[in-house]
Homo-oligomer: A and B are copies of this chain.
């Protein structure tokens, strides 16, 4: 039984992790719909609000979509008055995308709604279970960072 890892168990865990993530997001998707904008726009807006002005390319990379896709998402955000394109005087090919006040407000409001919804249900768990989740989230984030970095 001397083995460095337990591949079978890890794969099983990976499967359950994946499945749980899907179900979690399906549930909060209903809450996010109340924001009035689609999920791609919401997610991109989040990057802009927290990540300051970014180029379209960086934004596309952060969201793991292609530039044309992100270009259109930014179009929609601009049309809704939630973001704006600025000229990048250092490189006039590139644009700088930033959130408007309205965009930041909408994001924070949506985040509050989603988080309250999730937190309400998490609060049924014991504090020991919450601590497990807390540690697990940190570990998964670490694993994800390793992949991307």
Question: A residues engaging B (CB < 8 A)?
Answer: 5-7, 9-11, 13-18, 20-30, 43, 63-64, 111, 114-116, 118-119, 121-125, 127, 129-130, 132-137, 139-144, 146-148
Query: Lowest 9 CB-CB distances: which A-B pairs, in order?
Result: A136-B136, A14-B118, A129-B139, A21-B21, A132-B135, A133-B136, A14-B119, A11-B119, A10-B119
Q: Is B10 a contact of A22 with CB atoms below 8 Å?
A: no
The 8 Å CB contact of A7, one of B123, B125, B146, is B123
Contacts of A24 in B (CB 8 A): 17-18, 21, 140, 144
- Other A-B pairs, 6, CB within 8 Å; known A14-B122, A18-B118: A13-B130, A13-B133, A18-B114, A27-B64, A27-B144, A130-B139
